[in-house]
Chains A and B, each alone.
Chain A
Amino acid sequence: MIRRRPSAAIAMTILLALAAVVAVAGVALGPVWIPFKEVAAAIFGRLDPANTHGSAALIIRQVRLPRVILGFLVGGALGVSGTVMQGLFRNPLGSPYILGVASGASAGAAVSILAGWPTLPWLPLCAFAGGLVAVMIVYRLARGRDRRTSIFTLILAGVAVGALFSAVTSLVIFLSSRGEKMADVVFWIMGSLGRSGWGGLALLAPVVVMGTLLIQVLSRDLDALSLGEEGAFHLGVHPQRVTVVLLVLSTLLASAAVAMAGTIGFVGLVVPHVLRLILGPNHRTLVPASAIGGGLFLVLADMAARTLMRPVEIPVGIVTAFIGAPFFLYLLRSRGRRMA
């Protein structure tokens, strides 16, 4: 079978164009529909707040625009993180959610809330620490003595570690159930883009952008690692060192996403997988494509979450799970056997 794949430049152009359309639509959509013209005007800031369009501008600047940007950053972080984890574990079923990283990060976030530090520098740091502990445990377990990662060991390790950290999170909920902290913790379990604000974005954006750029620098090493550790070594790549750096970076991205939006599952699974089918497995293209594609997917899912059961808004994590979990089952059925 000849693989016909679009060139990287064409694919990135199409993805960026789609992202722009979805961004505008995401800002326009809501309880009050705001025409595209006013969306553009509000974003580029030509409106006088005193005139009749002022309230629309206010909604856009204070509520919808931060939310759409948060969606792109969180989705991009999850997409890139999933791409790296699939590459590192040489397995298209890897993702921050399935490997327990998201559970670890949300347990970290929950602990920081219980400890009384629900503030910006502490909460993301605790989330990162929790994610890092989770991924290190899974990595050590799944790597095994013969250095080969079996898909079943990997998923089982992810499930077990995820369960352990979910128990931590549940304990935190139980301990805080009489206080108003409960709503804070439940938010991290369900996953939502509803708590966006410019302050959080200012912290998240540099982490996501820097993390993605550093991963892009290592994209060729990721290609080499898909031949296995020994194969990568024979191509001049230091497998253990590169693996640790990439695990830390991808966990940083996933944890940053969790700290800002809770555990949103399956973005890191579905997005890299679909893009790899279309663009091929070359990480030099796949990493930036997953960054844009992840954002695109999450903002679309969030638009669905905001409108499907209007006026009630459902947590976006529920929408992505409804799309992603059947997709995961399909993958397990069609590819699991071959990859065992």
Chain B
Amino acid sequence: MRLGIRNLTFAYPESEPVLRGVNLLVSAGSLVALVGANGAGKSTLLSLASGYRTPADGEVLLDAVPVSDLPPRAIAQRIAALEQERHAAFDFTVREVVTMGRIPHRRRFGRETAHDRHRVGEAMALTETADLADRSIHTLSGGERQRVYLASALAQDPEALLLDEPTTHFDIRYQMELMEIIAGRARSGLAVLISVHDLNIAAAYADRVAVLAHGRIVSDGLAADVLTESTIADAFGACVSIGHDPATGSVTVLPRRRVGSW
């Protein structure tokens, strides 16, 4: 499957447009990292890509079908999305939360099938949340909780995965654990689009990096080609030094401290 974002334009009521003609393609088996400054419109773009918001202009295509033509259930059978900082209002158990991922596939009066349970178990194994199954979601640490919501998205058995800043707020180990799981899903055939703040995380795990600035994708390609000092200066207004990790060859982004600017 291919998730195609074509000429997408969007404005919130009574505000300037956030997105002015965004084009982006995410193919099966690839992990695309969306980066950009705070307020650049990453979350907006992801919620448009998931069909939750409706664009003013342009369209989101699931293969050849516009997402806007599909009912929510048909979208959810193919796209799993996690909005930023998901919060369950009540203290569901971990297993209950992961099982919610099966809602788009279950009939209204249907009981949980063996296939549902199999998918739930698989998703919990992949995210290493099986040990937490009977815990209340409210008693977990932030990192554990994020893995549970990821498990719920994977239990949806989607073709595309859209994640809004899944790694923000977590220490480097949790970030790496999550990114390993997500990259693994991309390798196994999912089309994955995630927004990230940490440019090093984007460089280390993504097949492609897309930079969102001024309402458009200003650069899109391999991390080494996209994460340049000039692009970052333009998109973030930040002065950085680009390096290379000798161990993996991936690009590194280091903040460049102003010298003698006391």
Contacts and interface: CB of A to CB of B under 8 A. Distances in A.
Given A1-B135, A220-B108, A228 B101 contact: no
A234 B88 contact: no
Grouping DSSP codes into helix (H, G, I), strand (E, B) and loop, the A interface class, with mixed when no group exceeds half, is loop
A259 to B, nearest CB: 30
A237 B76 CA distance: 9
Greatest chain A CB density within 10 A among B51, B72, B74, B156 is at B72
A109 to B, nearest CB: 32
A1 B81 CA distance: 28
A2 B135 CA distance: 5
B89 A91 contact: yes
Greatest chain A CB density within 10 A among B72, B88, B90 is at B90
A234 B50 contact: yes
Q: Size range of the interface on B?
A: 35 or more
A311 interface: no
B82 interface: yes
Contacts of A231: 83, 86
B228 interface: no
A226 B92 contact: yes
Contact of A235 (B47, B74, B91, B104): B104
B142 to A, nearest CB: 15
Given A1-B136, A226-B92, A236 B100 contact: no
Contact of A3 (B77, B80, B93): B93
A191 to B, nearest CB: 28
A236 B50 CA distance: 11
B134 interface: yes
Interface string A259-287: 00000000000000000100011100000
A280 B138 CA distance: 12
B47 A230 contact: yes
A238 B92 contact: no
Contact of B92 (A233, A235, A236, A280): A280
Contacts of B96: 223, 280-282
B183 to A, nearest CB: 21
Given A238-B71, A282-B96, A230 B89 contact: no
Given A233-B72, A234-B52, A276 B47 contact: no
Interface of B: 47, 50-52, 71-77, 79-83, 86-93, 96, 100-101, 103-104, 106, 108-109, 134-136, 139, 153, 156
Interface of A: 1-4, 87, 90-92, 217, 220, 223-224, 226-228, 230-231, 233-238, 276, 280-282
